[in-house]
Chains A and B, each alone.
Chain A
Amino acid sequence: DTAVSQTPKYLVTQMGNDKSIKCEQNLGHDTMYWYKQDSKKFLKIMFSYNNKELIINETVPNRFSPKSPDKAHLNLHINSLELGDSAVYFCASSPRTGGDTQYFGPGTRLTVL
């Protein structure tokens, strides 16, 4: 099942480093999301893009910068990583903006040491 894919699956890094997570969907969907799932399993939306345009930007530190080169890709760059950034990051996509069905990627487990 590679409809929504993410790389890498695991990311272990030191505090202060900069890292990127990549997401690609081959479903032809217009809308993509980034979610953060913390250690208590709570799923929180971070960003949403529709056809390369940012439409949701939750209260996320500006160390997190999403980039959408085209509607099939949504990458997440994180600067100056902190211990509290350790979490699982899920990418997701929906057929259209405001659409109901979401498909999640496999997740990227980020561990900051």
Chain B
Amino acid sequence: DTGVSQNPRHKITKRGQNVTFRCDPISEHNRLYWYRQTLGQGPEFLTYFQNEAQLEKSRLLSDRFSAERPKGSFSTLEIQRTEQGDSAMYLCASSPLGDYGYTFGSGTRLTVV
């Protein structure tokens, strides 16, 4: 197992386009998390899944954002009608049940031009 994998590593898109990111967690991890990090800031929580159930969503996750984890394995984060303010690093993390530590991926850096 090579840890949490995120694809793509970088994405440049034009304002108004839709983008989708993928996260493959560590295989035995039940929980999966999405965070967003803007330049010079700490990561901010977006949402988390336990298996395929989305159990918590931040107010940051506007109607243009949607996350899925259809079979309780990989997850996708889609942003519709991107805006320049969506430019950020999108981080995925996973953890097993009952464990306090997350393992983060290397992130997807989104630039909206």
Asked if chains A and B come from one complex, the reply is: no
Interface residues, chain A, with chain B CB atoms under 8 Å away? none
Report which B residues bind A (CB closer than 8 A): none
